[in-house]
Amino acid sequence: MSDAILSRAIQMRSPVPPATKWVAAVVLAGWLTLVLLLGAGGAFVGRPGTPPLAILIGFAVPLIVFFAGFRWWRPFRDFVLTVDPRVMMGLQAWRFGGLGFLALYANGILPGNFAIPAGLGDMAIGVTAPLLLAVLVRQPTFAASKTFVVWNALGVLDLVVAMTTGALGSMHAVGGVGDVTTGPMAQLPLLLIPAYLVPIFIMLHMGAFLQARRLAGHRAEQAQSGAVV
């Protein structure tokens, strides 16, 4: 009975206000434009053997804004908590594009210690996303399950590992002739991955986490109410 009530609550979630959708769309478009302009000017390219600070800033700042907005701006918090989790999970299927990392490694463009774990991790999330999405479509309460939370945690872990190995690869590069480094990740079009797509995928995972926590709270309240009755 409690799962049936929770399922109806999920399906009847309040729609996202149109104004909030427009704000989100404008912010995403402006962010993309900024990355393209800075990337075209070489703003993210660093010297071999140094931390990729520009890329790390481009990766971290959007996430800081995301969490700050969720904490202090009620309309944005409502937006995050009402986005359909099926959409958030479905978008992760694009991560199968991590196959491209393996292709770049095979062609000597990216080093294996970065491309292989990043590519395989992304492909694993991309392959499993449609499978779990099918479960979520049939059973909306799956969004409050441990499996749902663990899968999202693994998705975040994959992205963090990729960013970490990429940063370490940049710091250990010597810049010798013929060296295969992570340098191409600081140039367009690959720059869009760490400075735009990775933060978005993490935001999708975090939005799923936050919704799962809220649903788990509803389930606990229902269980407590049933115990009292």
Q: What is the pLDDT of residues 82-91, one digit of tens each?
A: 899 999 999 9
111-151: pLDDT as tens digits: 999 999 999 999 999 999 999 999 999 998 899 899 999 99
Torsions phi, psi for 74 (to 5 deg): -55, -45
Return the ∠ at Cα 191 (arms to 127 and 199), rounded to 5°.
Answer: 55
Asked if pLDDT for residue 184 goes beyond 80, the answer is yes
Residue 41, pLDDT score: 95
DSSP string spanning 24-49? HHHHHHHHHHHHHHHHHTTTT---TT
CA 102 from chain center: how many Å?
20
Closest CA to 151 of 126, 174, 118, 187: 126
Q: Which two tokens stand for residue 202?
A: 């993490």
Under DSSP, is residue 73 helix (H, G, I), strand (E, B) or coil?
A: coil
Closest CA to 16 of 63, 70, 72, 75: 75
Q: Would you call 5 exposed, middle or buried from its count of C-beta atoms within 10 A (0-12, 13-18, 19+)?
A: middle
Asked if pLDDT for residue 9 goes beyond 60, the answer is no
Asked if pLDDT for residue 34 goes beyond 60, the answer is yes
What count of residues does the chain have?
A: 229
Q: Mean pLDDT, to the nearest integer, of 15-36?
A: 86
Q: Which two tokens stand for residue 107?
A: 């062609």
CA separation, residue 77 to residues 114, 143, 183, 210 (Å): 35, 18, 36, 10
Asked if pLDDT for residue 5 goes beyond 50, the answer is no
Closest CA to 104 of 94, 116, 92, 96: 116
Choice among 17-21, 154-158, 208-212, 223-227 with the minimum mean pLDDT: 223-227
Q: Distance (Å, rounded) from C-alpha 108 to C-alpha 124?
A: 23
60-82: pLDDT as tens digits: 999 999 999 999 999 899 999 98
